[in-house]
């Protein structure tokens, strides 16, 4: 298992202009990215056409183009990878919905404690819209929801990504879930 120090060193080399650092980084982070992708895709609809390997490869293509990112450490990398996977899943859902004209909406699980339809799942496009609204109010809470829902991070992993304590992440997750619940109830009331 690669150390955080090894990953951070390669990220810093990549930021410093070493074009080959990312090629050396990928084998170290690939298994974790694939685990995140597999966990996320298990929460999607049963007939989802995107496979974990394809999601990781698409994320890789997006990550390798990240030229303006000042990579800080391993947690920062996985946070950005979560954002990239979110965008990919949202884009995939939009394309799928366009093809189906609204049928077969994709769903994403949030948390066992969030009581939402289909069981525990929220349409990925609705969740993306709600996260965008939350970003305007509290970017860190929005990022927490993103790394939990799209990155598949545990609370411990999310705390590392956000660089906060586990107790802060837990408290903010409760706040985020309450806000999400309210927004999703408003969404349903308008449908």
pLDDT tens digits for range 28-80: 888 888 888 887 777 666 666 778 888 888 888 888 777 677 888 888 888 88
Nearest-angstrom CA–CA distance, 87 and 81: 10
Residue 135: partners with Cβ closer than 8 Å, 6 or more residues away:
142
At residue 28, φ and ψ (nearest 5 deg) are -75, -30
What are the residue ranges in the chain where pLDDT is below 70? 1, 43-48, 67, 98-121, 190-191
What local confidence, expressed as pLDDT, does residue 114 receive?
Answer: 45
Judge contact between 39 and 13, C-beta under 8 A.
no
Domain tally for the chain?
1
What local confidence, expressed as pLDDT, does residue 120 receive?
Answer: 45
What local confidence, expressed as pLDDT, does residue 138 receive?
Answer: 93
The parent domain of residue 186 ranges over: 4-190
Report the Cα–Cα distance between both ends of the chain, in Å, rounded.
Answer: 48
Nearest-angstrom CA–CA distance, 151 and 63: 14
């Amino acid at each position: 298992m690669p150390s955080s120090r090894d990953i951070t060193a390669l990220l810093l080399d990549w930021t410093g202009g070493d074009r080959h650092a990312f090629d050396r980084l990928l084998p170290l982070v690939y298994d974790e990215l694939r685990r995140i992708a597999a966990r996320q895709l298990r929460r999607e609809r049963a007939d989802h056409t995107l496979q974990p390997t394809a999601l990781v490869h698409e994320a890789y293509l997006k990550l390798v183009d990240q030229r303006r990112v000042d990579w800080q450490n391993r947690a920062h990398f996985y946070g950005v990878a979560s954002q990239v996977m979110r965008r990919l899943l949202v884009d995939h859902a939009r394309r799928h919905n366009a093809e189906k004209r609204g049928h077969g909406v994709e769903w994403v699980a949030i948390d066992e404690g969030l009581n939402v339809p289909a069981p525990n799942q929220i349409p990925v496009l609705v969740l993306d819209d709600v996260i965008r609204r939350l970003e305007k109010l509290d970017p860190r809470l929005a990022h927490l929801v993103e790394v939990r829902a799209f990155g598949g991070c545990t609370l411990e992993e999310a705390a590392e990504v956000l660089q906060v304590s586990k107790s802060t992440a837990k408290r903010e997750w409760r706040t985020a879930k309450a806000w999400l619940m309210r927004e999703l109830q408003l969404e349903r009331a308008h449908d």
